[in-house]
Amino acid sequence: MLMNYFISLSTLIDVILAIKPFHGCDYFQNVEVGKSYDIFSPEYSQNGESNREVMECRWDAMAPAGYILILECEVYLPLSDDCNEGRIEVSASGKLDLEDADRYCGTQPFQTESVGNRMVIALKRAKTYEGKFKCHVYLKPDITFPCECGHRKRNRIVGGVQTLVNEFPMVGGLTLKNLPYVFCGATIIAQSFAITAAHCLRRKNLNYMALLVGDHNYRTADETRYAALYKLSKVQIHPEYDPVENKNDMALIQTQYAMQFNEAVGAVCLPFRHVDSFEKFNNKIVEAVGWGASEFAGPPSPFLQKVKLNVISNSQCSEAYPEEISSDQLCTYSYDKDTCQSDSGGPLLYTEPSNNLLYLVGVVSYGRGCATENPGVSARVTSYMEWIQLNTPNVRYCVK
């Protein structure tokens, strides 16, 4: 079994409903970049002992999109026709029923790799035979995975300026039927998914909502030919969202049909690389983008606007919001600049110097007034990467 590395599926049964317990010995792990994980037979030890009472176990490993899994194993199992007396089964495509699995037995070490970002490994032993194995699982980039994310076109949030037309292909807006403006922002993360703030979806009827993409001035159709409205098929509010304390203010929206990606509509880069480096973004510059008001209690802007903001530490932020700020939140403050009403749910975008791509690091949540002495507070996206991937299971994200 995978000791400290893989998680027993009994702890994940509410969120991974497709997986049924594998005779009580069933494990799952999101494999992280730069780490190696050990898999070994139950009660395996250096002196060669093995627990014969546990006959079957399964390990389900998942990599971030853009990576594949490498499995290296040493096996000491009976060699027989079709490996029927004891074997390791490996589904390189990640099928839980192992219907396409390769079988391994005998004493020859082997190495194999996944064909996507998931792999399922199982031990199956005959009752009359002993045997053991030990494997290592790690990641490498999938060079066959083509992807694009985080591109911007180069050529009034408070203190902000109007963006270039279609400068931010990943930025969308939430609209309601019969409402003549964008009421909240959103950020495209995949062809059928976008991220917004949970509070934007409270008391909203799914059937009346739509996601506006590829637009600049929503009052005219003359500026861009890429503007499109997509009806929503599903919303997923974070299960621990607290509207009183403004905690976990994060939600996913899914469109009924896949969005058409083009030069004006595309996905943001999710901060996989920044999770691995434990980046807090303190003292870094981010850009907030949205159709929000240019002043407190003012009307929303018909033009998409942007503003550069400075990320401050959570300890600094707590001076303005005592006992309110958690590690899952990110604060920004710049004199006379801020997000405002209707910017909620929109992105804080960080430009990575090494590649000039835009990464989603914050989802605008709340503040006190607009451009006051109080910081703006956003949900910190790096804290929610596992939740995002868990609730978009068929999406292969671009990892850059």
Report the catalytic residues: 199, 249, 344
CA–CA dist 94, 250 (Å, integer):
29
Q: Which H or E run includes 138? A: strand 132-141
Are the beta carbons of 396 and 66 closer than 8 angstroms? yes
H-type helices in 180-295, by residue range?
272-276
Give the whole-angstrom CA distance, residue 44 versus residue 123: 13
Sheet strand arrangement including 86-91:
7-8, 26-30, 56-62, 118-125, 86-91, 102-104
Q: Which of 355, 356, 363, 357 is nearest to 384 (CA)?
A: 363
d(CA 382, CA 121): 29
> Cα separation of 111 and 93, whole Å?
15
Contacts of 118 (CB under 8 A, 6+ apart): 60, 61, 62, 63, 69, 93, 94
**Type of residue at 358:** L
DSSP reduced 3-state for 387? helix
C-alpha dihedral, 99 to 28 to 66 to 192, nearest 10°: 90
Please report, for residues 27, 29, 68, 254, the alpha-carbon distance to residue 16 in angstroms, rounded to integers and kept in the order given. Answer: 11, 12, 21, 19
Distance of alpha carbon 369 from the chain centroid: 30
Beta carbons of 75 and 98 less than 8 angstroms apart: no
Query: Phi and psi for 314 in degrees, rounded to 5?
Result: -65, -30
Task: Residue count of the chain, please give it.
Answer: 400
